[in-house]
Amino acid sequence: MLRPRLIPCLLLRDGRLVKTVRFRDPSYVGDPTNTIRIFDEMEVDELLFLDIGAGHEGRTIDWKLLEGIATECFMPFGYGGGVRTIEDMGRLYTLGAEKVVLNTAAYDNPALVSRAAERFGSQSVVVSIDVKTDVGRPYVYVDGGRRRTAADPLDFAKRMAEAGAGELLITSIDRDGTFRGYDLALVERVASAVSIPVICCGGADTLEGARAGIRAGASGAAVGSMVVYQGKNRAVLINYPAPKELRDAFGAGSR
C-alpha cells in the first residue's frame, strides 16, 4: 500500500503564484522559483502546479515558465492548466513533469484520457474533478469552476477511471481556501467507487485534517493555504511540516 502523501498544490496565474478562495479572488503569494527552492529545502516529496487562467482564458501553456520550474524542481512534479492535446502532454513529460493533470479537456474530450494513458501510461495521467454543490446536489464544474456540467462527480470519476486515468484529484470548490477541512463525504464516495488513487483537495487546515482525508480513502492530500499562509489571517509564509510531524501524523512510512 502506498504511504500517504502531503502534496503542496501551487496555483499559477500570469507567471506568479496565487491562492484563491472558492476559486475566486486570487491573491499573490510569491515567485514560483523561490517557492520551489524553499520546498526543496523542506524536503517536500512532490509538488503540483495548476495554471488557473490558461484553460478558461484560452491561453497556451507558458512553456518558458514551465522550463524554469522544471530546472529548479528537484522533486517530482505534476502540471495542469491549458493542456489540450497529446502533443502538449508529450512536451510536458519531455520537460520533466512526472504527471499531467487534465480537467476541462478530460470532460470535453474523454478520448484524450484514453489516448494519453495508452501512449504515456496511466500512472502519468491525472484527471482533476472540481465539484460544487448547487441546488442541493453536487455537480462537476470545468473551465476553472465557471461552467457547470450535468455530470455527477461519482459517475464522472468512474468514467475517468475506466477511460484510463491513473489518479483523480478531487477538489471541493466550496471549501477551496476556507480552512474548513476537506469534503470527507465526497472523498469517501469517490475513493470507494474507483480502484485508482484519489487525491483530496480543497479546504485543508491542519495535519489532522489531512489525516482525516486519508482515512476517508484518499491516498494523498493536496494542500494550498495551509502551506503558503501562516494561520487564518493569511500572512504569507511558505511552510511545510517537518519529517517528524509527518511521521507522527501518517505513521512510520512517512518521510
Per-residue pLDDT reduced to its tens digit, 196-207 = 999 999 999 999
Cell of 23: 476559486
Backbone angles phi, psi at 236, to 5 degrees: -65, 125
CA distance linking residue 255 with residue 253, whole number of Å? 7
CATH code (residue 39): 3.20.20.70
Asked which of 137-146, 168-177, 187-196, 236-245 is least confident by mean pLDDT, the reply is: 236-245
Q: Which residues, 6+ apart, have CB-to-CB distance to 231 below 8 Å?
A: none
Domain range spanning residue 58? 5-250
Q: Which residues, 6+ apart, have CB-to-CB distance to 230 below 8 Å?
A: 236, 237, 239
198-240: per-residue pLDDT in tens?
Answer: 999 999 999 999 999 999 999 999 999 999 998 667 899 999 9
pLDDT at 114 over 50: yes
Mean pLDDT of all residues in the chain? 94
46 in a structural domain: yes
33 in a structural domain: yes
pLDDT score, position 5: 93
**Three-state secondary-structure class, residue 138:** strand
Catalytic residues: 130
194 in a structural domain: yes
**Whether the Cβ atoms of residue 187 and residue 218 lie closer than 8 Å to each other:** yes
Total-model pTM? 0.95
Listed in sequence order, the DSSP H helices in the chain are 32-41, 63-72, 86-95, 104-108, 110-120, 153-163, 184-193, 207-215, 225-228, 243-250
164 in a structural domain: yes
Q: At 130, is the pLDDT very low, low, confident or very high (cuts 50, 70, 90)?
A: very high
255 in a structural domain: no
Count of domains observed in the chain = 1
3-36: per-residue pLDDT in tens?
Answer: 789 999 999 999 999 999 999 999 999 999 999 9
Asked which of 53-62, 80-89, 134-143 is least confident by mean pLDDT, the reply is: 53-62
pLDDT at 192 over 50: yes
